Structure 1
Amino acid sequence: MTLDVNKDKLTILGVQFDNFPDFDTVWYAIGSSMIENYEPTVQDVIDLKAHVINRRKELNIGWKHFYLNKFQHGLKINVF
C-alpha cells in the first residue's frame, strides 16, 4: 500500500493538519507501522491526529502548571 501524503498541504489520506510537528508525528507513526503490513484508514489518521493534539496539550498544561507553581513560590528553576 502507498500512503497518500502531501507534505506541502499537510495532509495524510486527505486529513488536514494545522502544523508540521503534528503532521510529522502521525506520518512517522503510521509509516513505521506500515512496515508490518498495517493499512491505515482515514479514521485511523483522524484518531491518531486527535491523540497527538490532546497529548501535546496535556504536556504543555503540565509544564506550564509546574513552572507557574515554582515561580509563584520563589523557587529557583535550573534550565539546561
Structure 2
Amino acid sequence: MKWGIGNLPEVVLMQCPVCRKQFDPPKGARHLPFCSHRCRNIDLGRWLEESYTIEGPSPNDFWWADGDEDEYYRE
C-alpha cells in the first residue's frame, strides 16, 4: 500500500476503459479493470459483436484463400 502525506493511505484511482470514470478499486472485485459488472458486460458485448479489431493480415493474404489448397497437400 502506498502512503501519502502525514502517513495517511494514498488512494489509487483507476480509469474504466469503457465509461472513462475514475474509481477506487475495491479489493477482490471480479469486474476489474472495469468500474462495474455493467461496464464489463458492455466490453464483452463489443468483443462478441466484433466491434473491436486486431490489426493483422487480411484473410485473403493466406495461401488457402485461392481455393487450391489440394496443391499444397500433394507430395
Q: What TM-score, normalized by structure 1, do the two folds share? A: 0.29
The structure that has the greater radius of gyration is 2
Q: Which has the higher contact order (CA 8 A, sep 6+)?
A: 1
Normalising by structure 2, what TM-score? 0.30
